[in-house]
Amino acid sequence: MRTAQLTRTTKETDIRLTLSLEGGPVEIHTGIGFFDHMLTAFAFYGGLGLEVYAKGDLEVDGHHTVEDAGIVLGQAMREALGDRKGIRRFASCYIPMDEALCFTALDFSNRPFLALDAEMPQPMIGAYDSCLTEEFLRAFAVNSGLTLHMKCLYGKNAHHITEALFKSLGAAVREAVQITGTGVTSTKGVL
Residue 24 lies in a domain: yes
Instruction: Give the count of domains, the chain.
Output: 1
Q: What gap in Å lies between CA 22 and CA 26, rounded to an integer?
A: 12
Residue 188 lies in a domain: no
- Give residue 12's pLDDT: 97
Residue 65 lies in a domain: yes
The pLDDT tens digits for 3-20 are: 999 999 999 999 999 999
- Give residue 188's pLDDT: 81
Average pLDDT over residues 53-79: 98
Residue 107 lies in a domain: yes
Q: Read off the CATH number of the domain in which 112 is found.
A: 3.30.230.40
Residue 52 lies in a domain: yes
Q: Indicate the pLDDT class of residue 183, thresholds 50, 70 and 90.
A: confident
Residue 29 lies in a domain: yes
pTM value is: 0.96
Q: Indicate the pLDDT class of residue 90, thresholds 50, 70 and 90.
A: very high
Average pLDDT over residues 70-78: 98
Domain that holds residue 99: 3-176
Residue 36 lies in a domain: yes
- Give residue 13's pLDDT: 98
Q: What gap in Å lies between CA 6 and CA 127, rounded to an integer?
A: 26
- Give residue 184's pLDDT: 82
Residue 190 lies in a domain: no
